[in-house]
Amino acid sequence: MNRPNGRRRTAATQYILGMATEVLYTGALLAMAATVALAVWWWLR
Amino acid sequence: MISRPKLDDYRIVGYYTGSVTIGVGLLMAIPLITSLLRSEWSVANDFLLSGALAIAVGYAFRLVCWRPRLPGMSWMHGLVVSAFAWLVAMIVGAVPYYLSGHYASFLDSTFDVMSGFTTTGLVLLQDLDHVSDGVNMWRHVITYVGGQGMVVLALTFLFSGMTSGLFKMYVGEGKDERLEPNVIHTAKAIWQISLIWLAAGTLALWLAGLAIGMQPVRAFLHGLWVFMAAWSTGGFAPQSQNILYYHSSLYEILTFILFVVGSFNFALHYAVWNGRKREIYRNIETSAMFVTVSALTAVTLIGLTRWGVYPNIMSLLRKGFYLLISGHTTTGFMTIYSRQFALEWGDMAILAITVAMLFGGSACSTAGGFKGLRIGIIFKALLQDIKKMVMPESAVVVQRFHHGKDVVLTDPTVRAAMTIVVLYVATWVAGTLGGVASGYDMVSSMFEAASVTGNVGLSDGITAPSMPAALKVLYIAIMWAGRMEFTSVLGLGAFAVASFRRRR
Amino acid sequence: MNIECMTGRVVKAAVFGTALVVALSAVFGVTVLASQGTVVVSSTDLVEKARELDGQTVEFAGEVIGEAMLRGDHAWLNVSDGANAIGLWVPSSLARKAKWFGSYRNTGDRVSVIGVFHRACPEHGGDMDIHVTDLTLVATGSATRHLVRSDRVAWAVFFAALAGGLAFFQRGRERQNLSSGR
């Protein structure tokens, strides 16, 4: 963000990479949380 | 106590409030254009009327309050302006709602505006399934702008010529991180992140809408609106059934990811987008969130199983897990009817969601609640105290946490975090009391109060046009105070008290 | 309007109303006879008494809203009776009977359906729904008219002029002072 104009393309790549990281991380976080929770649930139910 | 305000203090507050009001009026151009494109002529006229009224009110404030060489803004002014501007914005923003004829009273329409601006998502609007595209656009623009911050918006577009004192307004709105040294650049960075996500998220939801059998234009509008509500953890949706309308796991998964990403700290987005990708799992907030989410999900699922609410794992995840995260990120998207919470869910799962709603998302994000940062800090402080107990008296225990960089935990940090958490809890108790006093049962009142305090928007049926007017006013006040994280509301309170104190 | 005309209207309305009531009760009578063992429910019944109605065959009527979302050989229709909208899982052939969908522009078709109610449908991720076996069109929908109110147009013009005037005046004042102050 707020890069010099010459590097606009790099910025676009950065956005996409950033969004991809966030989506992947979020997916992983939620999956892990769900797994932990399901394990506890299965153990205690 | 602060000294008695002088005339210039009122002028400063009025002047900047006027500017924010003008901003709200200009914002009505978006629903106005929408209704023109969708040939909803009477709605377009309502927005023209309301927008012009807001701009006139804004300029009237500036006309009355302006004088040559007005002194600069102090910390106090910043806080008072942000708190007061939100109240004025609530009133002018409610005009098109009221004109739409979908509200029982003007109070109901102001409730919905406050619910939108604070990204709560509770609804008093009636017959949502027959609401025009223009009004729906306004509802979602309100949440989207409210999530990023109304002052942040005004900073970006209206005050770009000046900088002094603006950081105070920005802080007053419950955001306190500088992504860049300059506050205007910080505001612009926030908008840049949000707008790029807007494009990507709308596209994804549009395609999903087409895949689940919606018409192209409706799929696009719904995609845009649902994105706005998800990203800003708002919880409005264009149909009365909320997300249940779509009957689609694809739509649920997409919104799920969007509102979790939306509940992240803007400083975190900023770090990740600038190549510091490790920040996302090192940050104290994401770690705190992982722990609380896992624990509370386990409690919810066990509760739901004990009470035999859902028949299989799939429905446990699509209802239990989805709604818990929707509450935890303070979004408030619903995939069940609100009365089902009260009637079917059982006390254990309700308790888990109530706690999750109070915890909330990340600091400096669109989310509400205590925020992960404070939970993390308080946990670390507890850890430090335990270490001190165990270690020899002469030992110096240094506790660190990672937030952008490694930070040493200090007592003032802990104290600030604790104060805010105590205020949230006190507010929540007040909200619960209001519910109980109005004749609702204890568990429902606690749930709804948590939803209001954390700016969530899950409802177990208390919020309805038929609820007592006093409770509506109380909920408006709580939503407002919770969104501003109390500081600026207390500032406005102190300002008002000081104004009416007798001069000594 | 003269009195004769008024009485004429009242009489017409009365005749029409009676005819409508007779016709409707005939329709409902037939439906009830044809579907013994079904419970006629409102959306409030479904939400409030979900546990006892779970798995029962119910009859539910309301306005189709939004759109029909086709998913292969079935479609989702969301039908609102005013209090709540309920999701209906309908065979596509039956779903095609609905042509008008409730929105700002239209009043949707009014349908009456018979089907099995699920409090938390195992097949559809725990959604509260009705798996419809029979769908009848009760009334056809129509386009809704929204008139532009002339008083509001006048107010809009007034406020627009006021806003423009104030903006012009105040901006001028502030700008002039900026330039003279330098």
- What tens digit of pLDDT does each residue of B102-142 get? 999 999 999 999 999 999 999 999 999 999 999 999 999 99
Q: How far is C17 from chain B (nearest CA, A)?
A: 27
Say whether both C70 and C107 belong to one domain: yes
The mean per-residue pLDDT over the stretch B240-251 comes to 95
Q: How far is B335 from chain C (nearest CA, A)?
A: 7
pLDDT digits over B304-344, tens only? 999 999 999 999 999 999 999 999 999 999 999 999 999 99
Pick from A1, A33, A45: CB nearest B302: A45
pLDDT of residue B164: 56
Q: How many domains does chain C have?
A: 3
What percent of chain B is modeled with pLDDT above 90? Answer: 73
Say whether both C69 and C20 belong to one domain: no
Q: Using the beta-carbon criterion (under 8 Å), do A44 and B302 form an inter-chain contact? A: yes
Our CA angle for B391, B393, B397, nearest 5°, is: 60
Cβ neighbour number for residue A40 with a 10 Å cutoff: 17
Helix, strand or coil, per DSSP, at residue B370: coil
pLDDT digits over A2-13, tens only? 544 545 557 788
Q: How far apart are CA B223 and CA B24, in angstroms?
A: 23
pLDDT of residue B210: 96
Chains A and B: 3 or more CB pairs within 8 Å of each other: yes
Say whether both C14 and C47 belong to one domain: no
Contact B451, B459 (CB under 8 A): yes
What's the mean pLDDT when you consider all of chain A?
A: 81
Say whether both C24 and C42 belong to one domain: no
Pick from B42, B56, B212: CB nearest C148: B42
Question: Which runs of consecutive H residues, i.e. helices, occur in C82-137?
Answer: 92-95
What's the mean pLDDT when you consider all of chain B?
A: 91
Closest CA to B17 of B184, B217, B180, B151: B151
Taking only residues 6 to 45 of chain A, the set having a beta carbon closer than 8 angstroms to any beta carbon of chain B reads 14-15, 18-19, 21-23, 25-27, 29-30, 32-34, 36-38, 40-41, 44-45
DSSP code, position C67: E
pLDDT band for position C157 (50/70/90)? very high
Q: Are strands B405-408 and B400-403 parallel, antiparallel or unpaired?
A: antiparallel
The mean per-residue pLDDT over the stretch C35-39 comes to 71
Closest CA to B259 of B197, B212, B209: B197
pLDDT of residue B394: 85
Q: Using the beta-carbon criterion (under 8 Å), do B63 and C166 form an inter-chain contact? A: yes
pLDDT band for position C22 (50/70/90)? low
Say whether both C133 and C157 belong to one domain: no
Say whether both C124 and C78 belong to one domain: yes
What tokens does B85 get? 């501007």
pLDDT of residue C20: 59
Set of chain A residues whose Cβ sits within 8 Å of the Cβ of B230: none
Nearest residue in chain A measured CA to CA from B296? A37
pLDDT of residue C182: 42
pLDDT band for position C18 (50/70/90)? low
Q: Using the beta-carbon criterion (under 8 Å), do B189 and A1 form an inter-chain contact? A: yes
Cβ neighbour number for residue C144 with a 10 Å cutoff: 12
Place of tokens 């017959």: B127
Closest CA to B354 of B309, B394, B324: B324
pLDDT of residue A12: 81
Say whether both C125 and C48 belong to one domain: yes
Say whether both C139 and C155 belong to one domain: no
pLDDT of residue C33: 46
Whether residue C181 is predicted with pLDDT greater than 50 in this model: the reply is no
What tokens does B151 get? 């002052």
pLDDT of residue B450: 97
Write the CATH number for C100.
2.40.50.140
Residue C95 belongs to what domain range? Answer: 38-143
pLDDT of residue C28: 53
pLDDT of residue B165: 61
| Predicted complex ipTM | 0.89
Say whether both C64 and C132 belong to one domain: yes
Say whether both C74 and C50 belong to one domain: yes
Largest CA distance in chain C: 89
The burial of B3, by beta-carbon neighbours within 10 Å (0-12 exposed, 13-18 middle, 19 or more buried), is given as: exposed
Q: Does B56 touch chain C (CB under 8 A)?
A: yes
pLDDT digits over B407-458, tens only? 899 999 999 999 999 999 999 999 999 999 999 999 999 999 999 999 999 9
The shares of helix, strand and coil residues in chain A, as percent rounded to the nearest 5, are 90, 0, 10
Q: How many domains does chain A have?
A: 1
pLDDT digits over B291-312, tens only? 999 999 999 999 999 999 999 9
The mean per-residue pLDDT over the stretch C49-57 comes to 94
Say whether both C108 and C28 belong to one domain: no
Q: Using the beta-carbon criterion (under 8 Å), do B261 and A26 form an inter-chain contact? A: yes
Q: Does B214 touch chain C (CB under 8 A)?
A: yes
Q: How far apart are CA C142 and CA C130, in angstroms?
A: 25
Whether residue B163 is predicted with pLDDT greater than 90 in this model: the reply is no
Q: How far apart are CA B103 and CA B37, in angstroms?
A: 24
Q: How far is B401 from chain C (nearest CA, A)?
A: 40
**What are all long-range contacts of C73-78, with beta carbons under 8 Å and residues at least 24 apart?**
C75/B213, C76/B213, C76/B247, C77/C111, C77/C132, C78/B239, C78/B241, C78/B245
Say whether both C182 and C117 belong to one domain: no
